[in-house]
């Protein structure tokens, strides 16, 4: 139940790279990083899940909240490097149609 979160900011977006597991135990750490970024509404957010090996519904909830906040500011949420297993969660919940998602095998 470990998670590493690295954030980089440029003029248009924040890049958030997550490594480890995103679940009920680690989600508060991601929430703490995302909260001020999404509330400011000044940048798009790109979240890289390439090195996330597990995600549960708590992680999905964070993405939904982030998407709602960004939509209020006309900003976008991009989720990249999504494994087939995690992509299935986005598909089952219908979230794949609401945000920009690139699978790990897709080239940006």
Q: Per residue in 32-70, pLDDT tens?
A: 999 999 888 889 999 999 999 999 999 999 999 999 999
Q: What pLDDT score was predicted for residue 105? A: 60
d(CA 2, CA 71): 30
**Residue 69 pLDDT:** 92
Query: Rounded distance, CA 45 to CA 51, Å?
Result: 17
Let me know if residue 89 belongs to a domain. yes
pLDDT at 107: 43
Report the share of the chain in percent with pLDDT over 90: 78
Model confidence, pTM: 0.90
CB count within 10 Å of CB 5 equals 17
Count of the separate structural domains present in the chain: 1
In a domain, 108, yes or no: no
Ramachandran assignment for 94, one of left (phi > 0), alpha (psi -120 to 50 degrees), beta (any other):
left
* Structural domain range at position 46: 3-103
Q: Is residue 31 part of a domain?
A: yes
* CATH for 63: 3.30.750.24
Residue 65, number of CB atoms within 10 A of its CB: 14
């Amino acid at each position: 139940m470990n998670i590493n979160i690295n954030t980089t900011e440029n003029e248009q977006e924040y890049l958030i790279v997550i490594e480890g597991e995103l679940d009920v135990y680690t989600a508060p750490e991601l929430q703490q990083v995302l909260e001020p970024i999404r509330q400011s509404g000044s940048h798009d957010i790109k979240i890289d899940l390439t090195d996330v090996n597990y995600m549960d519904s708590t992680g999905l909830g964070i993405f939904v909240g982030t998407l709602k906040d960004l939509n209020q500011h006309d900003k976008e949420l991009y989720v990249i490097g999504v494994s087939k297993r995690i992509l299935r969660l986005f598909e089952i919940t219908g979230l794949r149609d609401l945000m920009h998602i690139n699978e790990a095998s897709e080239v940006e």
